[in-house]
Amino acid sequence: MNTDRNVSRFLDYLRFEKRLSPHTLRAYETDLSQFFSFLTVTYDIKAFQEVKHLHVRAWIVELVQQQVANRSINRKISALKSLYRYLKKHQLVDVNPIAKVNAPKIGKRLPAVVQKKELEQLFSALVQAEGFSLVRDYTILALLYHTGIRRSELMQICLGDIDFHGCTIRVMGKGAKERLIPFSGHLAKILRKYIDLRKETFDNAVIGTIPEVLLTDKGKPLYPKYIYNKVKQYLSIVTTLEQRSPHVLRHSFATHLSDNGAPLNAIKALLGHSSLAATQIYTHNSIDRLRAIYQKAHPKAED
């Protein structure tokens, strides 16, 4: 299709104006490429104006037949909607063919959460950790669970972002939104131990130009797969959850706050959510707190 230039401009718009994450941009680029490849092969369509809502529906049917999950299909539809809004705004199309397309319904999926006692078991085993590698791994896990930050936010933390006096960490979230997250004295000890080992392990001439706090064993900044593998390795020791990713620690952070009575707006602020609706899912996992309230308040709870 003769669309490459405008799609590139659209992706640049998402990158520089909307400031979407590299992960989201890659997903959008892949989804759009798949859609336009389908149109070229199936209908020999070569221009945006030729695309009708029936073509989009045909693509969705093919995705369903390929057993693509509804959640993934919805993301692909979202990418198309964003593209055609951009095209219409810049008068490159007259009609938005996605407007008549309904996204498939998906069930509400509750986030996977590691139990408190399982995390206590893991951290108890690591508290006496010695040596750069183990202390670094402990710091990764502690930061993710104690602050609820995303993997991408963890990777970007620099020495200047950590305020030991005020016990806060500055992180850059989605859409380049900055927020300050408080941390405990316990996490402060873990961070100080790691930073001291970082200085001892690597020559300042080697890492003096590396602003990121967390490093690999070779003194390089962490990358997404590295963090994922580390978290999965350690969570596999204490939980049988199918999902054992960095995001599971973020879910656990939010759910445990909710279980202990933290206001939803406070959890929203800590997570960096733009909408309260995204945070409300954690109230569904607060069954421990609800059970405790019920047993204390209901006259027949002990029967």
Q: Which residues are catalytic?
A: 150, 174, 247, 250, 273, 282
> The tokens of 152 are what?
């991408």
Asked whether the CA dihedral 30, 36, 39, 42 is positive or negative, the reply is negative
Residues 6+ apart with CB under 8 A from 4: none
- CA 28, CA 32: separation in Å to the nearest integer? 6
Query: Is 240 buried (19+), middle (13-18) or exposed (0-12) by CB count in 10 A?
Result: exposed
Which position has the token pair 């995303």?
A: 150
Q: State the burial class of residue 12 (Cβ atoms within 10 Å of its Cβ: 0-12, 13-18, 19+).
A: exposed
